Chains A and B, each alone.
Chain A
Amino acid sequence: MLEALYRTARALPLGRAPASDPARSGIVIQPAGAEARFALRVRDAGASAAGLPLDGPINSVRGNDRRWIARLGPDEWLIGSDESEADHLPSAIAADLGERAHSIVDVSHRNVGIDVSGPLAAVALNAGCPLDLGDAAFPPGSATRTLLGKAEIVLIRHPGGAPRYRVECWRSFATYVHALLAEAAIGAGSTEQAVRR
Chain B
Amino acid sequence: MAQPFRLSRGGRIDRTRPVRFTFNGRTVEGFHGDSVASALLANGIHLVGRSFKYHRPRGILSHGPDEPSALLSVDRGPGRIDPNNRASVVEARDGLKTLSQNHWPSLEHDIGAVNDLLSPVFVAGFYYKTFMWPRKFWDKVYEPFIRAAAGLGKAPAVADPDRYANRHAHCDVLVVGAGPAGLSAALAAARTGKRVILADEGPEPGGALLHDVTAEIDGRPAAEWLSATLAELDSRENVILLPRTTAFGYYNHNHVALAERVTDHLPSPGTAPRERLWQVRAGEVVLAGGSHERPLVFADNDRPGILLAESVRVFVNRYGVAPGRRIVFATSGASAYAAALDAKAAGLAVTLVDLRTESECGPELARLKAAGVEVLTGHTVIGAKGTKRVTGLIVAPVDRAGRCGAHRVLECDCVGMSGGWTPAVHLFSQSRGKLAYDERLDAFLPGTSAQAERSAGASKGTYDLAACLQEGFAAGAAAAGSDERKSFTASPTLTGFKPVRAMPTDADPTKVRAFVDFQNDVTAKDIKLAVREGFHSIEHVKRYTTTGMATDQGKTSNMNALGIVAGQLDKTLPGVGTTTFRPPYTPVTFGTLVGPARHALFDPIRTTPIHEWAEEHGALFENVALWRRAWYFPKSGEDLHAAVARECEAVRKGVGIFDASTLGKIEVVGPDAAEFMNRIYVNPWLKLEVGRCRYGLMLKEDGYILDDGVVARIAPDCFHVTTTTGGAPRVLAHMEDYLQTEWPDLKVFLTSTTEQWAVIALQGPKARAVIAPLVDGIDLSPEAFPHMAMRQGTICGVPTRLFRVSFTGELGFEINVPSDHARAVWEAIWEAGQQHGITPYGTETMHVLRAEKGYIIIGQETDGTVTPDDVGLAGMIAKAKKDFVGKRSLARPDVVATGRKQLVGLVTDDPKLVLDEGAQIVDDPAQPIPMRMLGHVTSSYWSPNCGRSIAMALVADGRALQGGPLHVTTPEGFARVTVVDPVFFDPKGERIHA
Contacts and interface: CB of A to CB of B under 8 A. Distances in A.
A129 B169 CA distance: 10
Given A180-B596, A184-B596, A10 B605 contact: no
A149 B670 contact: no
Interface stretch (A54-62, A120-128, A154-162): A120-128
Contact of B756 (A109, A188, A189): A109
B669 A186 contact: no
Interface stretch (B820-828, B837-845, B849-857): B820-828
Nearest to B757: A109
A17 interface: no
B163 A187 contact: yes
Contact of B165 (A10, A129, A187): A187
Given A101-B671, A187-B276, A107 B753 contact: yes
Given A107-B756, A172-B606, A186-B271, A101 B670 contact: yes
Contacts of A177: 604
Given A11-B820, A106-B756, A172 B607 contact: yes
Contacts of B607: 172, 175
A189 to B, nearest CB: 6
Contacts of A193: 272
A109 B818 contact: yes
Contact of B597 (A23, A105, A130, A149): A149
A131 interface: yes
A127 B167 CA distance: 4
Contacts of B276: 187, 189
Given A101-B671, A105-B669, A126 B818 contact: no
Contacts of B755: 109-110, 170-172
Contacts of A109: 755-757, 818-821
Contacts of A187: 163-167, 273, 276, 596
A126 B596 contact: no
A5 interface: yes
Nearest to B598: A183
Interface string A9-42: 1111100000000010000000000100001010
B150 interface: no
Interface string B98-135: 00000000000000000000000000000000000000
A173 B165 CA distance: 20
A180 B595 CA distance: 11
Contact of A110 (B163, B754, B797): B754
B578 interface: no
B749 A150 contact: no
Given A149-B601, A150-B604, A179-B600, A105 B271 contact: no
Interface string A87-119: 000000000000001110111111000000000
A11 B818 contact: no
A27 B290 CA distance: 38
Contacts of A47: none
Nearest to B628: A172
B292 interface: no
A150 B281 CA distance: 19
Contacts of A126: 167-169
A127 B819 CA distance: 29
Contacts of A2: 794, 797
A184 B241 CA distance: 21
Nearest to A148: B604
A124 to B, nearest CB: 9
Nearest to B239: A196
Interface in A141-197: 149-151, 170-173, 175-177, 179-180, 183-184, 186-190, 193, 196-197
Contact of B167 (A123, A137, A179): A123
Interface residues of B, number: 57
Contacts of A3: 799
Nearest to A43: B747
Contacts of B195: 134
B836 interface: no
B608 interface: yes
B279 interface: yes
A132 B271 CA distance: 27
A89 B241 CA distance: 50
A52 B281 CA distance: 36
Interface centre among B163, B168, B240, B273 (most CB of A within 10 A): B168
A170 B753 CA distance: 10
A14 to B, nearest CB: 11
Interface in B753-790: 753-757
Given A130-B279, A132-B170, A134-B195, A103 B669 contact: yes
Interface centre among B609, B667, B755, B799 (most CB of A within 10 A): B755
B262 interface: yes
A10 B824 CA distance: 9
B671 A6 contact: no
B349 interface: no
A179 B598 CA distance: 12
B275 to A, nearest CB: 10
A137 to B, nearest CB: 7
A23 B271 contact: yes
B627 interface: yes
Nearest to A187: B165
A103 B242 contact: no
Given A41-B751, A106-B756, A108-B818, A189 B272 contact: yes
Contacts of B797: 2, 5-6
A43 B195 CA distance: 39
A152 B930 CA distance: 49
B742 interface: no
A110 B596 contact: no
A189 B799 CA distance: 46
Interface in B800-826: 818-824
Interface string B725-762: 00000000000000000000001010111111100000
A120 B565 CA distance: 54
User: Which 10 pairs of residues, A with B, have the shortest CB-CB distance?
Assistant: A187-B165, A172-B606, A103-B749, A41-B749, A103-B669, A176-B604, A10-B820, A132-B170, A101-B747, A110-B756
Given A39-B751, A126-B167, 4 more contacts: A103-B751, A108-B818, A175-B605, A189-B273
Interface of A: 2-3, 5-6, 9-13, 23, 34, 39, 41, 43, 75, 101-103, 105-110, 123, 126-132, 134, 137, 149-151, 170-173, 175-177, 179-180, 183-184, 186-190, 193, 196-197
19 contacts: A2-B797, A11-B822, A41-B669, A41-B749, A105-B667, A107-B751, A126-B167, A130-B168, A149-B601, A171-B609, A172-B626, A175-B600, A183-B601, A186-B163, A188-B165, A188-B167, A189-B276, A190-B272, A197-B242
